[in-house]
């Protein structure tokens, strides 16, 4: 399988599709998930193209996971969460739907179920306010 440069995350990285950015450096971009499973659900993507972890450059993975850790700590603090769910899927059989390597960071509170990751898009103003909370915790 080859990397498709027209996937939605590649388009976000090129600025062709808007996103609510949380963090950006030379190698990674983090933005709010438009179909959040819980308040503060964000995504971290490397700027280098790869379908998933199976074909990613190990140096890219190292830089990306360091950002995932930093943002998981910030999201946990920002949302006063009891824990943080971090998910990463590889190929359709494993649940991957966007074929650009990405990590989900989802702050979790005890006893609160995850919402389904499909359906209606979240309100952009709500996502912006949640992004600001995470930025403040960085």
Q: What residues are annotated to the active site?
A: 102
Residues whose CB falls within 8 Å of the CB of residue 67, separated by 6 or more in sequence, listed in order: 23, 25, 27, 28, 30, 44
Q: Strands of 1-138 (E only): list them.
A: 21-24, 28-32, 42-46, 83-87, 103-108
Question: In the structure encoding, which two tokens stand for residue 114, read together?
Answer: 């995850």
HEC readout, 48-64: CCCCCCCCCCHHHHHHH
Quote the CA–CA distance of 41 and 77 in Å, as a whole number: 13
> Which is it for the CA torsion 78, 125, 117, 50, positive or negative?
negative
């Amino acid at each position: 399988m080859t990397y498709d440069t027209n996937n939605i995350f590649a388009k976000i990285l090129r600025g062709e599709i808007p996103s609510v950015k949380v963090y950006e450096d030379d190698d990674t971009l983090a933005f709010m998930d438009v179909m959040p499973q819980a308040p503060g659900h964000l995504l971290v993507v490397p700027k280098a193209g790869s379908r998933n972890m199976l074909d990613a450059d190990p140096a890219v993975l190292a830089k990306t996971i360091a950002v995932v850790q930093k943002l998981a700590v910030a999201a946990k603090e920002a949302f006063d969460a009891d824990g943080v769910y971090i998910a990463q899927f590889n190929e359709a059989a494993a649940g991957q739907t966007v074929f650009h390597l990405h990590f989900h960071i989802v702050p979790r509170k005890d006893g609160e179920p995850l919402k389904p990751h499909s359906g209606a898009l979240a309100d952009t103003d709500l996502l912006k306010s949640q992004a600001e909370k995470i930025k403040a915790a960085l």
